[in-house]
Structure 1
Amino acid sequence: MGGRSNSIRIIGGEFRGRRLSFANLPGLRPTADRLRETLFNWLQGQVEGAACLDLFAGSGALGLEALSRGADFVRLVDQSRVVVRQLQQNLKTLQQEPRGEVVAGDALRLLSRDADRSFDLVFLDPPFARDWLENACDLLEQNHWLKPRSWIYLEQDSHKDWPRTPPQWSLYREAGAGQAACRLFRRDIMQN
């Protein structure tokens, strides 16, 4: 059973049922299968062909699920070298290196720079012990990481109050499972 405890299962799409390992680090907590399934049901029809940004990637459960469901490109960001190596290995195992990119670094520092590209779908699931969501949301807006009609997923400890989000984001859906609560937002900006 020890091997299974450090693995995630892809729920749907091309790699459905595949198990992938993730780094055994304290505080690393993949998004639960139930929440992942709920999220991707909400996003039905939005993932295929999308450019996705998985910040605080950890196990990579969200970004790898998006790849399995037809995302054109997924960037996974994490600051742990151990996590980065495992994410790179998982992309190699799935033969998805051209569509998946792993960036080693601090997600908030990355967001502090002007974006090199904008994304259709962003996953924000930082460590529960950290209060990084509000800052990450603000930086996504300030530095042009989002497309006009992007989707933004937030996950946090269910006992915390939700952070303030930018006014142009509309709450689309919310759910919870165990210790985790999640919200999905839609950004609604008119293009010039």
Structure 2
Amino acid sequence: MTRIALLTTAIVTGLMVTTGANAFGGAQGSLERPSFAQIDTDGDGKVTAEEMQALPATMASERFKAADTDGDGKISKEELTAAMTQMRETRDAERAERMISRFDADKDGTVSEQEMLDGMGQGRKASPGERFIAMADTDKDGAVSEEEFAAAAERMEQRHARSDRDQKGRGGKGGWDGRDNDRMPFWRN
């Protein structure tokens, strides 16, 4: 019963956090997951449902204080803009670092055009072209006709429209890090 209550709390918290994140410019970088100690506010070595429920407010309060640079207890348009800009810059820098790490085969801290081309599709079972053919080639002749292409484009458009409606219903556009169909983890705020 306790596990169900904690799981339910985590899910509800994740949904609440998704909406709150957009108030300060969207989700943050992947390294901002709270530590166990931050969630376990009474320090008893256990995370309770009450502590999980308090997490979004705690994180929002911390963000509010960080954004309120003049300390007047209110956030001006300028303060909010600066906070949102800083969060985006942090997120973009983390994304760039991940991309360099992924593509930089010679580990010189840069990515050459050849390294980028060599790294595309890295870690995937099939290339993007192979995945597209497998998805769109409904008659399984190994090629995509104009009709199959149009049908695949329509399916993708419908899926994208559903995804947009789903994301807008939760207050967002795109996933927690800007990629479509990603779901924001419960610790995001």
What TM-score, normalized to structure 1? 0.21
Normalized per residue, the structure richer in helix is 2
Q: Which has the higher contact order (CA 8 A, sep 6+)?
A: 2
Structure label with greater radius of gyration: 2
Normalized per residue, the structure richer in strand is 1
